[in-house]
């Protein structure tokens, strides 16, 4: 086990959870060795990804059941990408608007923009970020931005009402540490260990419980914005890279699990995706009298992807196609559409 990864994960997880993660998840070969006392940006990125993957499994029973089957059969999960939703809107409380709240984290960790995908039917834009040091081994991030200006005035006001209470979990010390990481591409172990819990907290809901009236206004026009109102910036889904997504979907369907009816296929034909339906969660909303009411809403979900290789136009070398597809993403996002 990479000692640096273990130390970083110990700041947010107990030892039994870390041991399970190390057995369940494929840990890239680039982490077979480490420099004692010095944490690379790649190690920090991997630790954050593993912590966020574990968090999603805690919230997604269907994904947890699937990964238990994988572990039972001696297999491993290859974490392809995690997805989160943001809102590009000036009234986000203390948070930077849209993806800026996360690019300030991803860039120092070694991530760079890898593709932009207009999600026109959802009135959103998706962007993928791949890691410079091991793009096909370290999980990507798929960060989407919703555009409230494309919706009604009532919708825009509800967005302001909901997001206006947002706090910024990124502390001044964390900002300074990220600047050091961006400059040096590494950190002393103590600084890296202090940073990880702060980064994990960024992937959560930062605003107060939304008003029921605002939630219903948002839901009437955008299932995606309604989801953000209750779940915030938590991972919307985590994605397992598998050899044959069609065969896997058939096997999961035979087990009676709520898998998507059809596999999404990219225009290139090289990227195939499917997912379990989002698991329901109970969230607290505030009614007109100020009383707290509980409502069952869609939570997060677990996704699967198969990527084929593609030849580089200049070198001719074949490498994994790390792109996404706007049509695929739009179809996958429907997994959280049903309340």
Q: Is residue 315 over pLDDT 90?
A: no
**What is the predicted pLDDT for the residue at 338?**
59
Query: Reading across the β-sheet that carries 301-307, which strands appear in turn?
Result: 111-119, 124-131, 140-146, 79-87, 237-241, 301-307, 271-275, 264-265
Closest CA to 273 of 337, 320, 331, 224: 331
Q: What confidence tens digit (pLDDT) does each residue in 99-150 have?
A: 999 999 999 999 999 999 999 999 999 999 999 999 999 999 999 999 999 9
Where are the extended beta strands (E) located within 88-194? 111-119, 124-131, 140-146, 186-188
Domain boundaries, the chain: 3-336
**What is the predicted pLDDT for the residue at 335?**
82
78-94 mean pLDDT: 98
201-206 mean pLDDT: 99
| CA–CA separation, 337 and 219 (whole Å) | 9
Q: Is residue 154 over pLDDT 60?
A: yes
Extract the tokens encoding 90.
Answer: 């000036």
Q: Is residue 301 over pLDDT 80?
A: yes
Q: Which residues contact 75 (CB under 8 A, 6 or more apart)?
A: none
| CA–CA separation, 88 and 125 (whole Å) | 10
**What is the predicted pLDDT for the residue at 333?**
86
Distance of CA 278 to the CA centre of its chain: 14
| CA–CA separation, 195 and 9 (whole Å) | 11
**What is the predicted pLDDT for the residue at 339?**
44
Q: What confidence tens digit (pLDDT) does each residue in 220-241 have?
A: 999 999 999 999 999 999 999 9
Which class is domain 3-336?
A: alpha beta
- Average confidence score pLDDT of the chain: 96
Q: What confidence tens digit (pLDDT) does each residue in 283-300 have?
A: 999 999 999 999 999 999
Q: What does DSSP assign to residue 110?
A: T
């Amino acid at each position: 086990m990479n000692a640096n990864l273990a130390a970083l994960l110990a700041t947010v997880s107990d030892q039994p959870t870390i041991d399970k993660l190390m057995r369940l998840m494929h840990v890239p070969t680039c982490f077979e060795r480490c420099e004692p006392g010095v944490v690379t940006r790649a190690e920090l990125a991997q630790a954050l990804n593993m912590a966020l993957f574990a968090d999603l499994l805690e919230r997604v029973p269907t994904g947890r059941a699937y990964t238990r089957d994988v572990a039972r059969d001696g297999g491993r999960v290859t974490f392809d990408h995690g997805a989160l939703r943001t809102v590009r809107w000036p009234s986000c409380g203390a948070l930077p608007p849209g993806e800026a709240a996360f690019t300030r984290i991803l860039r120092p960790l070694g991530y760079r923009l890898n593709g932009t995908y207009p999600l026109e039917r959802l009135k959103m834009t998706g962007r993928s970020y791949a890691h410079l040091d091991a793009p096909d081994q370290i999980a990507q991030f798929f960060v989407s931005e919703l555009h409230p200006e494309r919706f009604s005035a009532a919708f825009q006001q509800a967005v302001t009402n909901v997001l206006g209470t947002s706090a910024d979990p990124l502390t001044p010390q964390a900002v300074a540490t990220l600047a050091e990481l961006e400059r040096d591409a590494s950190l002393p172990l103590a600084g890296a260990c202090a940073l990880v819990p702060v980064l994990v907290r960024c992937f959560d809901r930062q605003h107060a419980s939304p008003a029921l009236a605002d939630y219903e206004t948002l839901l009437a026009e955008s299932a995606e914005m309604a989801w953000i109102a209750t779940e915030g910036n938590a991972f919307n889904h985590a994605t397992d890279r598998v050899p044959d997504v069609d065969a896997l979907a058939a096997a999961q369907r035979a087990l009676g699990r709520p898998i998507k009816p059809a596999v999404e296929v990219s225009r290139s034909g090289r990227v195939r995706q499917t997912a379990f339906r989002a698991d329901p969660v109970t969230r607290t909303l505030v009614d007109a009298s100020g009383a707290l009411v509980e409502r069952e809403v869609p939570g997060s979900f677990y996704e699967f992807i198969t990527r084929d290789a593609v030849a580089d136009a200049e070198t001719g070398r074949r490498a994994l196609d790390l792109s996404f597809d706007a049509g695929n993403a739009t179809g996958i996002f429907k997994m959280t559409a049903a309340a």
